[in-house]
């Protein structure tokens, strides 16, 4: 799949291959920018096992982070992996490194980084090199000296020379498909006039014209509004991508403290205003960081995820999940810190939460875009809480159920608000309060007009009589029923997730190739 006929380029808001067909980037973040400047996890698993597991989980790409000093400070780059661990006092970790990656232990840091890229390449994973910060360490605060051009550790000329060096180093590897020029610009110095991303883009393109050039905005990769007045002007075309970040904590605790319908509407509109508008201007938008606590115990994260997935699936966005990393060698002074946002568990031996992978499986393959969108256009009806889509029950002619989106029926949604199965006379009908939804031939008829309601526009509501409205819902056994519409008031104790559905444009490429295999337990 990543023999995708590389290199990649852009066609309006889509990333495409040499044949002009959409390539969807479904990436994970793999950190290599912390104090040790070594890709995380190598004390736990062989590098090739990690690379293969990324593919087995259904991802086709890695956003591999690196600190600027790896490319600009020769004494750092030439340090061996072993010395880096010794210098950090992590003597106990070296035996794990020696056992799992004996060929890497005595490589220089820059050669070890190249080895990780080579391993991803041989496992058919695409790579985006992300300059995460300058001085190695955990990112990001607005006062860490790494935030904006001119900060203590962020010299623009040094940055240009580091980007040029990295672009040159990997210019012959077609799997290095993109360079993300800098992570999360931030801090008191940030301003639109000193946004030197155009300089960085020209330098990278000059060194390697094949890579996508990925630019970040202001305010921790959220704000591109300044481009409305002064669009990016480059000497080249067809390579420009913008990146944005969206986490639950971006908006504090508002998911937990507010009404999720209202919060979803407000935050989504805010995202579209700050960075999503670039899609309408004909640029790809890469959500290069998003993620949740995969233990499932964080209400703020859980509510955000329903809204986020509806948005990502609606726009069929390219993304990089934060993070692959199950634990860190050393993070903020803590040795072996467990990463609850990590797809892998703390010893990197298995998936932390396999139901999460199933839930995001619809995001791993393209629904729209060049080479796809003309083939049998239709709608699917996606429920973000389960990650499933509505389909006809095979056993009964009028039953509906939730199932794998790749096996969804083709739906239509008419101006009269009828949800019908394409090429049939059947439409979706509510039978009554707390009763199963079903298919009907009486279209339009009572309970067959489905309006998108609430601030979130994620409820599908129909009227059974003049005085009685119900909403489509999912019960605890994943059956489709209709119940009283919930969380429409200001109530913040209420979670509407089971009643959220998104009617999404799709075409005929949803394949079943992404049955997420469990990575082999080592």
Is residue 239 included in any domain, yes or no?
yes
User: What is the per-residue DSSP string for 186-218?
Assistant: -STT--STT-THHHHHHHHHHH-TTSEEEEE-B
**Is the same domain home to 166 and 305?**
yes
- Laid out side by side, the sheet with 480-483 consists of 435-436, 480-483, 468-474, 459-465, 451-453
Beta bridge partners of 15: 10
DSSP 8-state symbol, 80: B
CATH at 233: 3.20.20.80
User: What is the per-residue DSSP string for 263-301?
Assistant: HHHHHHHHHIIIIIHHHHTT--EEEEEE---TTS--HHH
Total of domains in the chain: 2
Tokens of 166: 């990295």
Residues 287, 490: Cα–Cα separation, whole Å: 30
10 Å Cβ neighbour count for 257? Answer: 12
Identify the pLDDT of residue 375: 72
**Is the same domain home to 274 and 191?**
yes
Among the candidates 311, 329, 363, a domain finishes at 363
Residues 249, 304: Cα–Cα separation, whole Å: 9
Residues 308, 154: Cα–Cα separation, whole Å: 32
Identify the pLDDT of residue 509: 62
**Is the same domain home to 301 and 405?**
no
Identify the pLDDT of residue 1: 44
Identify the pLDDT of residue 4: 59
Residues 63, 57: Cα–Cα separation, whole Å: 15
Residues 162, 146: Cα–Cα separation, whole Å: 15
Identify the pLDDT of residue 374: 67
Residues 276, 58: Cα–Cα separation, whole Å: 26
Report whether 233 contacts 198 (CB < 8 A): yes
Is residue 517 included in any domain, yes or no?
no
Alpha-carbon separation of residue 516 from 352, 381, 436 (angstroms)? 14, 21, 30
Is residue 488 included in any domain, yes or no?
yes
Domain that holds residue 466: 374-507
**Is the same domain home to 212 and 316?**
yes
**Is the same domain home to 254 and 400?**
no
10 Å Cβ neighbour count for 145? Answer: 15
Is residue 186 included in any domain, yes or no?
yes
**Is the same domain home to 183 and 326?**
yes
Among the candidates 319, 341, 363, a domain finishes at 363
10 Å Cβ neighbour count for 233? Answer: 6
Q: What is the pTM of this model?
A: 0.95
Is residue 522 included in any domain, yes or no?
no
Is residue 230 included in any domain, yes or no?
yes
Report whether 356 contacts 324 (CB < 8 A): no
pLDDT in tens, the chain (522 residues): 444 589 999 999 999 999 999 999 999 999 999 999 999 999 999 999 999 999 999 999 999 999 999 999 999 999 999 999 999 999 999 999 999 999 999 999 999 999 999 999 999 999 999 999 999 999 999 999 999 999 999 999 999 999 999 999 999 999 999 999 999 999 999 999 999 999 999 999 999 999 999 999 999 999 999 999 999 999 999 999 999 999 999 999 999 999 999 999 999 999 999 999 999 999 999 999 999 999 999 999 999 999 999 999 999 999 999 999 999 999 999 999 999 999 999 999 999 999 999 999 999 999 999 988 667 899 999 999 999 999 999 888 899 999 999 999 999 999 999 999 999 999 999 999 999 999 999 999 999 999 999 999 999 999 998 889 999 999 988 899 999 999 998 888 999 999 999 999 998 764 433 333 444 443
Among the candidates 363, 388, 410, a domain finishes at 363
Is residue 518 included in any domain, yes or no?
no
**Is the same domain home to 114 and 263?**
yes
CATH at 474: 2.80.10.50
**Is the same domain home to 416 and 288?**
no
**Is the same domain home to 165 and 220?**
yes
Find out whether the peptide bond into 314 is cis, omega within 30 degrees of 0: no
**Is the same domain home to 473 and 414?**
yes
**Is the same domain home to 359 and 379?**
no
**Is the same domain home to 393 and 492?**
yes
Alpha-carbon separation of residue 337 from 40, 110, 138, 213, 341 (angstroms)? 11, 24, 12, 32, 12
Q: Give the residue among 323, 319, 348, 293 at the shortest CA–CA distance from 30.
A: 323
Is residue 1 included in any domain, yes or no?
no
């Amino acid at each position: 799949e990543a023999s995708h006929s590389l290199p990649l380029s852009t066609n309006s808001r889509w990333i495409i291959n040499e044949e002009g067909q959409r390539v969807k980037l479904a990436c994970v973040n793999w950190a290599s920018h912390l104090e040790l400047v070594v890709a995380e996890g190598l004390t736990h698993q062989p590098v090739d096992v990690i690379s293969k597991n990324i593919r087995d989980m259904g991802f086709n790409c890695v956003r591999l982070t690196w600190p600027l000093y790896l490319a600009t400070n020769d004494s750092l780059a030439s340090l061996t992996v072993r010395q880096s661990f010794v210098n950090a006092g992590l003597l106990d970790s070296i035996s794990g490194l020696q056992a799992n990656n004996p060929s890497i232990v005595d490589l220089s840091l820059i050669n070890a980084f190249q080895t990780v890229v080579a391993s991803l390449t041989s496992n058919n994973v695409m790579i985006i090199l992300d300059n995460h910060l300058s001085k190695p360490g955990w990112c990001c605060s607005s006062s860490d000296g790494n935030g904006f051009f001119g900060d203590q550790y962020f010299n623009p000329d040094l940055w240009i020379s580091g980007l040029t060096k990295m672009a040159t180093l990997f210019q012959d590897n077609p799997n290095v498909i993109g360079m993300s020029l800098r992570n999360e610009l931030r801090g008191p110095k940030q301003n639109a006039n000193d946004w030197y991303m155009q300089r960085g883009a020209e330098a990278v393109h000059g060194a390697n014209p094949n890579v996508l050039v990925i630019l970040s905005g202001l305010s921790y990769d959220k704000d591109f509004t300044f481009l409305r007045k002064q669009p990016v002007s480059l000497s080249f075309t067809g390579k420009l991508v913008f990146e944005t970040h969206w986490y639950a904590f971006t908006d504090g605790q508002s998911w937990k403290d507010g009404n999720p319908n209202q919060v979803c509407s407000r935050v989504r509109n805010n995202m579209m205003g700050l960075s999503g508008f670039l899609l309408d201007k004909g640029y790809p938008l890469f959500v290069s960081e998003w993620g949740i606590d995969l233990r499932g115990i964080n209400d703020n994260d859980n509510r955000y995820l329903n809204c986020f997935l509806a948005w990502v699936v609606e726009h069929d966005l390219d993304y990089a999940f934060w993070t692959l990393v199950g634990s860190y060698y050393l993070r903020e002074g803590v040795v072996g810190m467990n990463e609850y946002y990590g797809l892998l568990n703390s010893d990197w031996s298995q998936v932390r939460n396999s139901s999460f992978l199933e839930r995001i499986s619809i995001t791993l393959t393209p629904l729209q875009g060049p080479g796809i969108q003309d083939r049998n256009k239709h709608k699917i009806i996606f429920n973000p809480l389960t990650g499933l889509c509505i389909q006809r029950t095979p056993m009964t002619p009028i039953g509906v159920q939730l199932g794998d989106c790749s096996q969804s029926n083709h739906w239509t949604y008419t101006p009269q608000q009828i949800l019908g199965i394409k090429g049939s006379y059947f439409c979706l009908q509510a039978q009554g309060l707390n009763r199963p939804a079903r298919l009907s031939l009486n279209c339009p008829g009572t309970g067959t007009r489905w309006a998108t309601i609430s601030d979130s526009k994620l409820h599908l509501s129909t009227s059974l009589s003049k005085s009685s409205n119900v909403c489509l819902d999912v019960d605890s056994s994943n059956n489709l029923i209709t119940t009283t519409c919930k969380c429409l008031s200001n109530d913040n104790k209420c979670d509407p997730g089971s009643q959220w559905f998104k009617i999404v444009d799709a075409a005929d490429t949803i394949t079943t190739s992404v049955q997420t295999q469990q990575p082999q337990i080592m």
